[in-house]
Amino acid sequence: MKRTPEPREHANASAGDEASASLNGFNVGARLRALRIQKNISIDAAAAKAGVSKSFLSRFERDLVQASIASLLRICDAIGVKPGSIFEPPTTNFVKAGEGAPINLGGIGMRERIVSSVGNEHVMALHSVIAPGGGSGPEAYSLRADLDVVHIISGELDMSVGGEAYHMTSGDTLSFDPKTPHTWRNPSQSEPCVTFWMIVPPPA
């Protein structure tokens, strides 16, 4: 049986002819898939209207292939979305364990990942691993935010907020005004402390 040639989007074209399916870390294909499903449009119908194969659209939605700008615009039209809307922040943000974006906010012996959506103007959520003896440092600091919440997933953490001391262990949660000078430290000599932080809104 003679095989029908794949559309040009499947071939490796020059950079000038193709637009990456992932722009600066933003997964265009996955975002379009979410919008298509939200509008209850089948992949067959969208592919037919956009003039691309179902196979190509499936791979594009999984960010496995690139699409020309013209094809991207046709796909947007097929599912009834404005091209600019695909770059608006999604309403949900799913981060698998260990896959948050690494971030360095200072401190000693820290490994942190941001697990809220990057650029969220309402809240900053962080997953932090604090090495034995690590912490914020000896000098108290404050943040221009309204609320700070720290939850201990495992290990222990010594917090000082406005001169008041808290010894926290697994399962403990502390909420406080981050404008109040505070410090924190993992007092263990052998075990890391794993924590989840929320800062509302993200510090200015």
d(CA 19, CA 31): 15
pLDDT grade for 89, boundaries at 50, 70 and 90 = low
**By percentage, how much of the chain surpasses pLDDT 70?**
81
Q: Per-residue confidence at 151, pLDDT binned at 50, 70, 90?
A: very high
- As a whole number of angstroms, the distance between CA 66 and CA 21 comes to 5
Residue-wise pLDDT tens digits, 46-85: 999 999 999 999 998 888 887 777 788 889 899 998 877 6
Say if residue 190's pLDDT is above 90. yes
Residue 183's closest CA among 143, 146, 144, 136? 136
Least confident of 66-80, 145-159, 169-183: 66-80
- The contacts of residue 158 (CB under 8 Å, 6+ apart) are 135, 165, 166, 167, 168, 184, 185, 186, 187
- What does pTM read for this prediction? 0.60
Asked if residue 24 has pLDDT above 80, the reply is no
**Closest C-alpha among 119, 123, 181 to residue 147:** 123
Determine the pLDDT at residue 119. 63
> Dihedrals φ, ψ of 76, to 5°?
-60, -45
Listed by start position, the domains of the chain span: 17-87, 101-200
Residue written as tokens 């809220």?
116
Residue 15 has pLDDT above 70, yes or no: no
Task: Report whether pLDDT(180) > 90.
Answer: yes
Q: How many residues are given for the chain? A: 204
Cα–Cα distance for residue pair 29/149, rounded to 1 Å? 35
Q: What is the pLDDT of residue 187?
A: 98
What's residue 30's pLDDT? 80
Overall fold of domain 17-87: 434 Repressor (Amino-terminal Domain) (1.10.260)
Cβ–Cβ under 8 Å, residues 53 and 6: yes
Task: Write the DSSP assignment of 18-47 as a string of letters.
Answer: -B-SEETTEEHHHHHHHHHHHTT--HHHHH
Residues 162-169, mean pLDDT to the nearest whole number:
97
Q: Say if residues 176 and 161 touch (Cβ distance below 8 Å).
A: yes
Class of domain 101-200: mainly beta
- Binned at pLDDT 50, 70 and 90, residue 88 comes out as low
The DSSP call for residue 163 is T
d(CA 182, CA 177): 9
* Position 201 pLDDT exceeds 70: yes
